[in-house]
């Protein structure tokens, strides 16, 4: 008792609202981004959660993408993409399962082709 166990969806990495990263962010597990990333966000089997105030200027290639912030680039997910307001995406999205809620701003193309995890770079 009193001990918390990390489940498969537990956030393993956190990029705070005041943080800014330039370059490629590679990770395993689940990352939550509330700051700014200029460059790529990539993981063959991980989940990225892009918070409401987050800005990603670059491509995202992950297993699962949950987006509430701004992405200027392509979002590529092997399993699924979920997009919730007040998200804004300027770029193409690709995943076998895509969910976009009302109130989201999306300007790009959408592809729902099924792909293997090994194709993510």
Considering the entire predicted model, what is its pTM? 0.88
d(C-alpha 76, C-alpha 111), whole Å: 10
Partners of residue 76 on adjacent β-strands: 61, 94
d(C-alpha 40, C-alpha 29), whole Å: 17
pLDDT given for residue 5 in this prediction? 46
Tokens of 20: 């800014």
pLDDT tens, residue by residue, 10-50: 899 999 999 999 999 999 999 999 999 999 999 999 999 99
């Amino acid at each position: 008792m009193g001990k918390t166990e990390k489940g498969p969806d537990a956030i393993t990495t956190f990029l705070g609202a005041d943080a800014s990263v330039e370059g490629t962010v590679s990770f395993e597990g689940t990352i939550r981004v509330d700051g700014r990333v200029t460059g790529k966000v990539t993981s063959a089997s991980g989940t990225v959660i892009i918070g409401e105030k987050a800005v990603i200027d670059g491509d995202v290639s992950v297993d699962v993408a949950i987006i509430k912030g701004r992405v200027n680039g392509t979002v590529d997910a092997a399993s699924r993409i979920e997009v919730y307001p007040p998200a804004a995406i300027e770029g193409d999205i690709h995943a076998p399962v895509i969910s976009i809620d009302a109130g989201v701003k999306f300007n790009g193309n959408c592809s729902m082709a099924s792909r293997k995890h090994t194709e993510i770079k």
